Structure 1
């Protein structure tokens, strides 16, 4: 087992591998976004049908996590991870060589079932090796990877389109999966202690999930992070229309604005990791959620008053994303802190609930169409307030 240092100044190689595995699922979300028109043309379908392949992927990513948790608690972390990455590779190649939109949709669901392993299992591995404080630091490092991926993936996808076609994007996804699979097989050590193995059975799985659903602190911390993540999904879904249509931002400059807010998330997550040397995760979470609510309510108030400008919106969004850089890793570490004997199941349920929160927020903002920033700022404020509420309930239950 890797050592558990009190400060993650030197990032161990196994943690870098976990970070890259965590990026695999988001890579499959963002890398093919620039190719939507090309896919629609190539498969002779409508843009709406192509957009549904993204929704199918998100749904598959949410539900698949429930399966990996029990298997990771029974067979260890390494074997299910190998199986998941292998499924991702095969499904990516299936996407690359599909001949119609129906098969692409099914291959995307299969791809999600593979990529979900990279979301569930790295969190469990981190908690296998670190206590709550150092787990928060490690999860902040994962936030760095998660923040960089949405910036680089669409750029990479656009470059692939410049030199080839959309099928090459999925081939590159498969190649990334193959490289990570080699890393897991050759370098990863099993971190699940034999005494923590949980037998695999429907009754046992059901009892574990039911116990987690009844565990107040776990659920509240999970939903505190989940509604924070839901705000991020609302931002991802709603910001293109707000920036481009409401504030007349050139589509070529949209990526720059998106990168600024992603940078706020990345920097804040790393600051959070450093502050954990002097502060508890609970203290950082409490202050960050106050900031989360303040920034989003300010954006909503400015929108309702008709005083919102692009600059003011960007300041509020950057504040929201920076706050989320503190909320997400600390809420996740606190949610898993008491689940040592069922970390796989706990990580799976946490990921599923957070993904469902995010997908619901994204769907809601896509349905609410107006000629202003109101849907975006309203959804951000609602998600932030719910995150604050569940965070307070979790802290009171401690």
Structure 2
């Protein structure tokens, strides 16, 4: 069942809503990428061991993934705005707590609170898009959000690096405090409530469990979540392995890593832009197929090149950028198909989709990247394998439910 009507009209320009929701979605990754360059300074300031510093990252990631299960469901019951505003309030206070932390233990605690609160923005923003806009417009907004979202990985490390180099390490978290407070004020003033009271779901344990059970047992949901979440790791693997891939294999200096991230960001922004142009013109199924064709082709080429040629900076980074283009071309469409599976539970669907993606990210970060990062050929093979999991999910979905995504929607 699909709900093709928007609930509440948005009378402003699409780009304004796109920027607003992209800023919400950027908060979670920003809280990671901004503080990573400050690792050495934080370790010196708190006399922390490498294990303790890793725990500050792990605590955030685990809390983020865990709470991703609930942000959307809470927004289905209480509305989108309250969940976002409470999440931003907690994030802002937790960021200030990180800046004031006297010991590593307190830093880990406040990083956990950051993780619990930061995911609300990206989870709820997806539901807001589909609440406010019919399918074609929703795809354009989702694509624009992806474009703006692609800027975060480039800006955040530069900001964090500059702050940790010129100011005490606490400045990184005071910066995040300012970001949270600014977003809180902006969202409070500008974001409309997109879920009216009569469409909200009762917050009862059995009702909630039934909703989760219904989604988890829905093979279309699981396959769509795998098709969108796992292929991302074909690109993310290289980001996680960047010190080895760029520093050891391509022999680049840390100051030159920027080019790799720029190539990926251009790929994401380009794919998202093309996706937005296709909205309402090309059937969702065809657009997803185009994205997978690009990812399959470049993954095979990348593996072959790494088996036959010595790694070289002149060609080794380009395939990942092209892969990013293919992923960004199809992921806005797949996300909307997920949300439209259960129009009455879009928040929950967004939560579970995020949880599947976060779980895959964690597995790749903890298991796949450490095993594959010592060889460019193994990196290319692992990237192809991860993409193939998403491809297999989509191919089965396409054959089992051929009507899904067949028609162009307005």
1:239/1:376 contact within 8 Å kept: no
Match for residue 125 of structure 2 among 108, 122, 127: 122
For 2:172 and 2:99, locate their aligned partners in 1 and report how far apart those are by CA, in whole Å: 8
Distance 1:187 1:30 in 2: 27
Indicate the residue corresponding to 1:239 in structure 2. 242
Q: Distance in 2 between matches of 1:109 and 1:338?
A: 32
Question: How much has 1:196 moved relative to structure 2?
Answer: 1.8
Whether contact under 8 Å (1:228, 1:327) holds in the other structure is: no
Per-residue deviation, residues 71-95 of structure 1 (Å, max 9, x unmatched): 1011100111111111101111111
1:11 aligned residue: 14
TM-score w.r.t. the length of structure 1 is: 0.94
| Mapped partners of 1:135, 1:370: distance in 2 | 38
SS at match of 1:112: helix
CA drift of 1:159 comes to 1.7
Matching of residue 96 in structure 1 with residue 99 in structure 2: yes
Query: CA distance change for structure 1 residues 12 and 267 in 2, over 3 Å: closer, same or farther?
Result: closer
After the TM superposition, which segments of 4 or more aligned residues of structure 1 sit over 6 Å from their partners?
Answer: none
Match runs of 1:45-64 below 5 Å = 45-64=48-67
Matches within 5 A, 1:149-164: 149-164=152-167
Query: What CA distance in whole angstroms lies between the structure 1 residues aligned with 2:228 and 2:373?
Result: 28
Q: TM-score, normalised by structure 2?
A: 0.92
Moved more, 70-79 or 184-193: 184-193
For 1:200, what is the secondary structure of its paired residue?
coil
In 2, Cα distance between the equivalents of 1:112 and 1:159?
23
Structure 2: 5+ residue runs without aligned partners? 1-6, 405-410
2:199 to 182, 192, 196: 196
Which residue number corresponds to residue 207 of structure 1? 210
**Aligned-residue RMSD, C-alpha:** 1.8
Partner of 1:111: 114
Preserved CA contact (<8 Å) 1:218 1:336: no
**Of 356-365 and 106-115, the range deviating more from structure 2:** 356-365
Cα distance per residue 1:46-98 (max 9 Å; x no partner): 23431332222122111111111221011100111111111101111111111
In structure 2, how many angstroms separate the alpha carbons of the residues matched to 1:201 and 1:74? 9
**In 2, Cα distance between the equivalents of 1:190 and 1:315?**
42
Equivalent residue, structure 1, for 2:38: 35
CA deviation digits over 1:232-255, x for unaligned, max 9? 331210122111111111111011
Higher mean C-alpha deviation, range 205-214 or range 154-163: 154-163
Report if the CA contact (8 A) 1:300-1:374 is conserved: yes
Paired residues, number? 395
- Which residue pairs with 1:137 in the alignment? 140
The corresponding residue for 2:3 is none
CA contact (8 A) 2:19 2:148 kept: no
The answer to whether the Cα contact below 8 Å between 2:215 and 2:221 also exists between their aligned partners in 1 is yes
CA distance in 2, matches of 1:61, 1:349: 13
* Unmatched runs of 5 consecutive residues or more in structure 1: none
Match of 1:254?
257
Partner residue, 1:336: 339
Query: Which residue matches 2:408?
Result: none
Query: Offset of 1:258 from its aligned partner?
Result: 1.5
Q: 2-side partners of 1:34 and 1:350: how far apart?
A: 29
Separation in structure 1 between the aligned mates of residue 100 and residue 288 of structure 2, nearest angstrom: 45
Q: Distance in 2 between matches of 1:135 and 1:49?
A: 42
